[in-house]
Structure 1
Amino acid sequence: VYNALYNNYSLMYNSSLYFYNEATSDNAFSSSGDYNLIASGNSASSLPKFQNDWKYYYSTIKSCNLFLAHVDENTTMAPDVKERLKAETRFIRAFAHFNLAKWYGNVPLVDRDLTEADAQTIPPSSKEKVMDFVVAELTAIAEILPSKDEIPAAENGRITNGAALALEARVLLYKGDKMSEVVAVCEKLMNDQAAYGTYQLVDNYSDLFSNPAVNRSNNEALLSLQYVPVTRTWQELWDFVPRSVGGRVSSMSPTQELVDDYIMTNGKGINEAGSGYNESSPYVNRDPRLTATVVYHEYNWTGQVNKTIYIKPGTDPDGAKLDEYNPGSQSASLTGYYWRKYYDPTSLPNFVSGLNLHLLRYAEVLLTYAEAKNSLGQMDATVWSETIGALRARAGFTDPGALNYPGNSGMTN
């Protein structure tokens, strides 16, 4: 039974989807033909990316439904343990349905193990119906699953009631017309931690992604893809970092749009009056999370390798030009930027990493709550300080202009 459950966990998500789906947004640009077509708006339903993801998620759902159809055949397992395993599997099935509905809209809702004949004739359900199913499942299993505080350390990474509520809040926010429900779900996680687990922000933002000890054991992650050095690893970062620090090729790079979204340390956007932004020194006085995420020209790289990264053509004093922007190159950055986030200092020489990849974080719960409260016209100084203010303080902001509530004029925009 447990081997079947662990198989379902392994099918929930993977490192390739985790990283490369960024290239379907304006956060990243990939050299892959599929992602280029999606980014340019020239993709079709026959695109291998779409075909493969469809198969992936429905394979996950098939595995979950098989588990749910046959787990009761085990007559020796305690009923309460069995119900927990069912709830974990229902979460994974709900997560797959949510991803399908996000990508494809109306899709078959498969809540039972289908025969081959059924699979060939089942019609698509509306996107709304699929989302309602996901919310109903998450609401139900949150009453079955234990909190993270109720499970032993050896079970870190298993799905909890906190994870169920965090995903429910994400789905409800995505629906767009359930803001009161979003607030109610988030407030359970924020205000009833005795029932749903103790969660708080990690002190250092960068540590959450790149410090192995903090990454694997912290009170911010509600659910992560679990990896173990040597035994179960990922190595996508090998193709995202500068060659001078061990990178192989550059298959996906941060975009200028992503970089421009990082505000100034005074809380203003780079294009706002009084921001202090200077195009000749564009990375000075920026949100500290930029440096934790993106490698830019003259970046001070620290870790097992300590060096300055030169990206602007003709600036590398060593003449090696390994990291300089070179359009059309298969090894240099595609955009003039590289990735730093999820750099594992223990992963050299081949960037095989055992860091966990976080799917749900308490930081997202706080931002979801803030967005819902703002949409309801209920944003105020208290909500701000609990959410956006707290996140900025954790990131390292000190300027009152960034930390203090600015009023809600224009905030929705």
Structure 2
Amino acid sequence: MKKINLKNILIACCIGLFSLSACNDLDQVPTDRFTDETFWLSTDNSELVVNMAYSQMYKSEKMWQDESLSDNMFDGRSNTAERVIRNGLADPSLGRFADEWKWAYEGIKTCHAYLDNVERVPDMDASLKEKRKAEIRFIRAYLFFRMTNFYGDVPFFTKDLTIAESRTISRTPRAQVIEFIHKELDEIMPLLPKRDNLSKDDNGRITKGAACALQARAYLYDSDWAKVEEYCNKLISVQGEYGTYGLFSSYPDMFLQDNEYNTEVILDYAYVPSVKTWQEMYDMAPLSAGARLNAKAPTQSLVDNYITLNGKKITEDPDYNANNPYVNRDPRLSATVVYHGFQWTNTDGTKRTIYIKPGSNDNKVDMYVSSSANTTSTGYYVKKYFDPKAEADLKSALNIIMFRYADVLLMYAEAKLEQGALTSAVWDNTIKLIRKRAGFTDSAALDYPSAASTDALREIVRNERRSELALEGLRYYDIKRWKAGTKYLNGYVFGAKFASNNTENIRLDNRQFVESRDYLWAVPLSQIDLNPNLKPNNPGYAN
């Protein structure tokens, strides 16, 4: 969303347009006098609120934190909240539970402020008003959706709350909130533009396609396969109505500044050079590429998920060489993960080798030392979302993709599978297209596996989803909806075969996943202290 006036977002925040410091996060009362009778007298002022809502919808930090909750990534440098959660040690006083709650309700507060006051703006163009209201309603729906995924039942309301109301409201059943989200998204779709009709200055704004994709994802998380198919099909087969989308020609190049707003991107979260940037790659990329240390690293589990070029798992391919494990692999591996021997492309186009395996070379800047050193804790670094145009200290202005067309194809394939209808034709129009774009050419990898059982097909589709969407913030939610926490989030985290003189895999935390507790987070203790009506807490957490 580069052309939305992000400078004005910063100005609005600085002047205290919405001071979010009230004692209860559900009721953050505006305190600046500019928010009363004088503020809503101009369209320009109302646009500041829309810009603020966009800025509160998502951000890079959320994506990387969500990845750390999954089996794709390990936080090695510190005892982060995500690491505490994955090790089964979290309780309702954990700051991460409170921070996520506060962040979401701040954004919801902004949405309600807009919807409650926009009709006061004199002489505002009627079509612009309806479009902006639809955008705001999307953001509110997205934030409530995120809240239900973490907390289940949540306080739900569609207008600003008074302090008194905020201290008495109870939690609304998740199903009721989800029903509202579906209704909202259906209602706003006709009010939103298609991506095809956006001007260059409006790139990044919420569209019909974005609302349709969120609908599909919301139904996906409830395993409502018929509805997933319905809404994905609107983006696949009825493109004239919901916008024209397709796979971008190059998988690695899709994550570069030069290719933002391409036909695969349905919605992204925008950054602007020097004005609004993100810096997480400073603690994830190879140190030789400008990082200061390694705080988050891909896991061996993620690396092992990438199939070989003939479409087989590494455990099934007789040609797979454990002593040379990164050759003849899914090309998306090298677009996502930096491994030992990786051919890194410098900003001037020249290439150099990244040495990670201990003792392999005199150049030790990126080499694995131990799980507590400043270099990688797993033997891997992050490649996806590395921005060659990053500023000093790897400050990046690269947009973060929230919804893209490949995800729609994968959701559609999964929905057809779960309805017993994953045919060769469906495969060819989903998985095969995605693999061809990734760089597969062997027919064994591209053709429909007609001999595979339903369970085998399910594993193929799920693994394909992991490889295609790795490090994009979706894996944790897939594990949750599959109810596969014990399978993927329980037991030791492993890294590359760099331990004990390169004879054993690095062994890290012994993660603990409790089926009766860990699919939901605790309602923050700080919120229960302010409002006892939020009890009882989720199962497994004391009030």
TM-score, with structure 1 as normaliser? 0.96
Q: Is residue 361 of structure 2 the alignment partner of residue 316 of structure 1?
A: yes
Residues 306-332 of structure 1 deviation map (CA, whole Å, 9 limit, x = unaligned):
3211111111233xx211112244420
Partner residue, 1:189: 235
Shift of 1:74: 1.0
User: How far apart in 1 are the matches of 2:314 and 2:344?
Assistant: 24
Shift of 1:174: 0.4
CA contact (8 A) 2:204 2:261 kept: no
Aligned with 2:217: secondary structure?
A: helix
Q: Is residue 297 of structure 2 the alignment partner of residue 250 of structure 1?
A: no
Q: Is residue 175 of structure 2 the alignment partner of residue 144 of structure 1?
A: no
Among 353, 357, 367, the alignment partner of 2:400 is 357
Q: Is residue 265 of structure 2 the alignment partner of residue 221 of structure 1?
A: yes
Partner residue, 1:373: 416
Residues 137-165 of structure 1 deviation map (CA, whole Å, 9 limit, x = unaligned):
11111121111112211100000010000
Partner residue, 1:75: 122
CA contact (8 A) 1:246 1:350 kept: yes
User: How far apart in 2 are the matches of 1:145 and 1:132?
Assistant: 20
Shift of 1:129: 1.6
Structure 1's 276 and 130: CA in aligned 2 closer, same or farther, altered over 3 A?
farther
Partner residue, 1:45: 92
Structure 2 unaligned regions, length at least 5? 1-45, 460-543
Q: Which has the higher contact order (CA 8 A, sep 6+)?
A: 2
Partner residue, 2:315: 271
Letter in 2 for 1:358: I
CA contact (8 A) 2:232 2:412 kept: yes
1:161-310 alignment to 2 at 5 Å? 161-176=208-223, 178-210=224-256, 212-214=257-259, 216-272=260-316, 274=317, 276-304=319-347, 306-310=351-355
User: How far apart in 2 are the matches of 1:197 and 1:300?
Assistant: 38
CA contact (8 A) 2:59 2:400 kept: no
User: How far apart in 1 are the matches of 2:253 and 2:337?
Assistant: 15
Letter in 1 for 2:305: D
CA contact (8 A) 2:216 2:232 kept: yes
Among 3, 11, 34, the alignment partner of 2:56 is 11
Aligned with 2:221: secondary structure?
A: helix
Letter in 2 for 1:315: S
Among 437, 441, 446, the alignment partner of 1:394 is 437
CA contact (8 A) 1:301 1:307 kept: yes
Identity among equivalent pairs (%): 44
Letter in 2 for 1:224: D
User: How far apart in 2 are the matches of 1:104 and 1:84?
Assistant: 30
Q: Is residue 373 of structure 2 the alignment partner of residue 343 of structure 1?
A: no
User: How far apart in 2 are the matches of 1:341 and 1:404?
Assistant: 27
Letter in 1 for 2:358: P
User: How far apart in 2 are the matches of 1:351 and 1:221?
Assistant: 24
CA contact (8 A) 1:227 1:356 kept: yes
Partner residue, 1:411: 457
Letter in 2 for 1:108: P
Q: Is residue 176 of structure 2 the alignment partner of residue 129 of structure 1?
A: yes
Residues 266-292 of structure 1 deviation map (CA, whole Å, 9 limit, x = unaligned):
1111122x4532211111111100000
Shift of 1:387: 0.5
Q: State the number of aligned residues.
A: 407
CA contact (8 A) 2:284 2:381 kept: yes
CA contact (8 A) 1:61 1:110 kept: no
CA contact (8 A) 2:371 2:378 kept: no
CA contact (8 A) 2:284 2:293 kept: yes
Structure 1's 315 and 160: CA in aligned 2 closer, same or farther, altered over 3 A?
same
User: How far apart in 1 are the matches of 2:239 and 2:283?
Assistant: 40
Structure 1's 365 and 308: CA in aligned 2 closer, same or farther, altered over 3 A?
same
**Max radius of gyration: which structure?**
2
Letter in 2 for 1:218: N
CA contact (8 A) 1:266 1:275 kept: no
Residues 359-385 of structure 1 deviation map (CA, whole Å, 9 limit, x = unaligned):
000110000000000000010111101
CA contact (8 A) 1:109 1:125 kept: yes
Shift of 1:349: 3.8
TM-score, with structure 2 as normaliser? 0.73
Shift of 1:75: 2.6
Shift of 1:404: 0.5
Cα RMSD over matched residues? 1.3
Aligned with 2:247: secondary structure?
A: coil
User: How far apart in 1 are the matches of 2:361 and 2:155?
Assistant: 54
